[in-house]
Amino acid sequence: MKKLILALKILLGVMLIIFGSNKFIGFLPDFEFANPEAGILFGALANSYILKTVGLIEVIVGLLLVTNKAVPFALILMAPISVNIILFHGTLDPANIGPGAFVFIVNTFLIYKHWTKYKTLF
């Protein structure tokens, strides 16, 4: 189980570093949204500070996960972003929900595995 958790942390971390960096550099091709409203919302987010802030948080969380530093903090920092990713794709872009679902599920699973660290919060 420890090897699975380590592999998931590294995979999630690398994915967050790549997608977070893409919000600054733009090296991945643009998403093709089937729903025009998804494109409008994403465009509005991309033209504001919000997407850059999310990208910065994704890179920081990804680096923390890959280096195995402050993992419980990183997972909680990523929680609202992963919830918004799944809600965005679930409501406006279900065709592209795969990567978002992966981020949400792995983040939730890793929070569950580190639950003893969060007991004092609840």
In a domain, 103, yes or no: yes
Contact yes or no for 95/113 (Cβ under 8 A): no
In a domain, 122, yes or no: no
Residue 40 identity: I
Residues in the chain: 122
- Looking up tokens 């003893």, which residue turns up? 116
| pLDDT attached to residue 91 | 96
In a domain, 105, yes or no: yes
Model confidence, pTM: 0.93
Report the number of distinct structural domains present in the chain: 1
pLDDT tens for each residue of 46-78: 999 999 999 999 999 999 999 999 999 999 999
pLDDT digits (tens, 9 = 90+) for 78-103: 999 999 999 999 999 999 999 999 99
Q: Answer yes or no: is pLDDT of 31 > 90.
A: no
What proportion of the chain, given as a percentage, has pLDDT over 90?
92
The per-residue pLDDT of the chain, averaged, comes to 95
pLDDT over 70, % of the chain: 100
**Gyration radius of the chain over CA positions:** 15
Give the span between the Cα atoms of 28 and 20, in whole angstroms.
11
User: Residue 32 — pLDDT band, cuts 50, 70, 90?
Assistant: confident
Q: Are 78 and 61 in contact (CB under 8 A)?
A: yes
Q: Examine residue 121 and state whether it is found in any structural domain, yes or no.
A: no
* 108 domain-assigned: yes
Contact call for residues 114 and 71 (beta carbons, < 8 A)? yes
User: CB of 58 within 8 A of CB of 16?
Assistant: yes
Quick check: is 101 in a domain? yes
Question: What are the distances in angstroms from CA 96 to CA 8, 35, 85, 100?
Answer: 21, 11, 11, 8
- Give a yes or no: residue 8 inside a domain: yes
Instruction: Look at residue 79 and tell me if it is in a domain.
Output: yes
Range of the domain at 13: 2-116
